């Protein structure tokens, strides 16, 4: 079955530390890949997306993600996190332009 896995449930970092959140998806054909963020009390916001082209995708707020097809991965990175990055991060995939599937989410806590 098509599925999306996020390896880390909760990541705790100090400000200025580098971040990498893992996302792996199962094989299922053509994929479009997304990272969403949800801040406390808010709805999901799109950080970045990959449809085709350059596998290194830059998003908002200094986030980037790299699509590695051979590893079925789309890890999210940020060189230096801030306290305001504290949130829940969701990886999502659409297979063959079908319905979106989400990972379970990774909670990021950034200590000031």
Site residues (vs another protein, CB under 8 A): 32, 34, 36, 38-44, 46, 49, 51, 87-88, 90, 92, 94, 97-100, 102, 105, 107
In the complex with another protein, the residue whose CB is nearer, 25 or 90, is 90
Q: How far is the CB of 70 from another protein (least distance, A)?
A: 22
Least distance (Å) from another protein to the CB of residue 48? 10
Give me the phi and psi of 71, to 5 degrees please: -105, 0
Q: Measured between alpha carbons, how far is 12 from 1 in angstroms, rounded to an integer?
A: 31
Q: Which residue carries 């970045």 as its tokens?
A: 48
CB atoms within 10 A of CB 42: 9
């Amino acid at each position: 079955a098509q599925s999306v896995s996020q390896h880390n449930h909760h990541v705790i970092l100090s400000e200025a530390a580098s971040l990498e959140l893992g996302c792996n998806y199962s094989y299922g054909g053509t994929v479009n890949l997304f990272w969403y963020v949800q801040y406390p009390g808010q709805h999901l916001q799109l950080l970045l997306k990959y449809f085709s082209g350059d596998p290194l995708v830059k998003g908002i707020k200094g986030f980037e993600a790299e699509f590695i097809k051979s590893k079925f991965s789309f890890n999210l990175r940020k060189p230096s996190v801030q306290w305001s990055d504290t949130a829940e991060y969701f990886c999502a995939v659409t297979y063959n332009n079908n319905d979106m599937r989400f990972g379970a989410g990774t909670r990021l806590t950034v200590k000031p």
